[in-house]
Amino acid sequence: MSNILIIKHGSLGDIAQASGAIQDISENHRADNLYLLTTKPYIDLFKKNQNFKDIILDKRLSRFNLVYLYLLMRKLKKYKFSKVYDLQNSNRTNFYKKILFPKSRSDIWSSTETTLPEGTSKKNFDKDGVLRRFEHQLKSSGITTKNVLKPDFSWSCEDISDLKRNYNLKKYIILFPFSSPGLTIKRWPYFSNLIKKIKSQYSNQFQIVIVPGPNEIKLTNEFDAISILDNGIAVNISKLSSLIKESSFIVSNDTGPAHMAAHLNKKGLVLFGSHTTAEKVSIETEYFKAIQVSDLSKLSAENVFEKLKSSIS
């Protein structure tokens, strides 16, 4: 029995995407102990994943914080990991490799760098879809892949019967009209208009719900929708997963909850401007579809509503 390490620091959408890769790794290492290195926001979430023997915290302090770096590396070395699957593929995790396994190849440290196709630059490889890149990485590392292209994020859910009772939720549509403060280019500006159209046609069938993050609570006042909180604070990731899982439909900007919805097998729409493409971030599924435009400000509420109507029926 060996100790195996998976590294996945975040973000939320990336973690949902990596669920299939994590499942494939665990199924190929059933006789081994699987550990995960992640960051504080996702510690409690990953504790719900029964594939892991333990979760290790990486505070991701500056690499010039030599005391922290020494303590983290010493801790990791104590586990005597026989193999590392780097699903973060960042400059930071490449730096960890140089300390822990400086000369190792994909048989010891599986990453984009160690499994890069011959004759392909990392820049060009990164143009492919996220899930296809994961698939190549795992196959090149000797993993039989069954789940990587179809991640299942349902392991993240928890019971929300009390929350649904408090808000009298029955059949509901969730909207995610926000984005990270530094990525306002991702925000579609017509969610209020969409709410009016949904209520005009479906007022007796669906409730309209927004589930804000910690920094979005005050912003929900702009919308004529039910704002879901848990005792006055933002719901945790697991309850958010369950709210999405039990919803009737999702309309979202390109944010973490959109990726969660895609990999919770939900019906919905995600709206893309020019910042990236749905193909590159591997978000479309049989039920969860993207609307891609060059300028989100020119995508009308009427167009989104028509797509919603044809999908929800």
* Residues pairing with 268 in the sheet: 250, 288
Residues 6+ apart with CB under 8 A from 83: 2, 4, 5, 107, 108, 109, 110
pLDDT in tens, the chain (313 residues): 899 999 999 999 999 999 999 999 999 999 999 999 999 999 999 999 999 999 999 999 999 999 999 999 999 999 999 999 999 999 999 999 999 999 899 999 999 999 998 888 888 888 889 999 999 999 999 999 999 999 999 999 999 999 999 999 999 999 999 988 888 889 999 999 999 999 999 988 999 999 999 999 999 999 999 999 999 999 999 999 999 999 999 999 999 999 999 999 999 999 999 988 999 999 999 999 999 999 999 999 999 999 999 998 7
In contact, 258 and 265? CB cutoff 8 Å: no
In contact, 280 and 130? CB cutoff 8 Å: yes
Report how far apart, in Å, the C-alpha atoms of 144 and of each of 63, 98, 148 are: 34, 27, 10
Q: Same topology for domains 3-152 and 155-312, yes or no?
A: yes
pTM listed for this prediction: 0.93
How do 268-272 and 109-110 pair as beta strands? unpaired
Report how far apart, in Å, the C-alpha atoms of 133 and of each of 9, 72, 154, 157 are: 17, 28, 22, 26
Closest CA to 275 of 192, 183, 208: 183
Q: Hey, what are 225's tokens?
A: 């929708």
Structure confidence at residue 119 (pLDDT): 84
Q: Where are the domains of the chain?
A: 3-152, 155-312
Report how far apart, in Å, the C-alpha atoms of 197 and of each of 203, 208, 308 are: 9, 11, 11
In contact, 187 and 275? CB cutoff 8 Å: no
Q: Hey, what are 121's tokens?
A: 């630059």
In contact, 20 and 87? CB cutoff 8 Å: no
What is residue 308's three-state secondary structure? helix
Rounded Cα distance, 134 and 130, in Å: 6
Exposure pattern of 154-178 as b/e (b: 16+ CB <10 Å)? ebbbeebeebbeebebeebbbbbbb
Q: Which CATH number fits domain 3-152: 3.40.50.1820, 3.40.630.10, 1.10.1740.10, 3.40.50.2000?
A: 3.40.50.2000
- What superfamily would CATH give domain 155-312? Glycogen Phosphorylase B; (3.40.50.2000)
Rounded Cα distance, 281 and 160, in Å: 29
* Residues pairing with 3 in the sheet: 33
Angle at 56 between CA 264 and CA 26, to 5 degrees: 50
Beta strands in 12-106 (DSSP E): 33-38, 54-57, 83-86
Structure confidence at residue 255 (pLDDT): 94
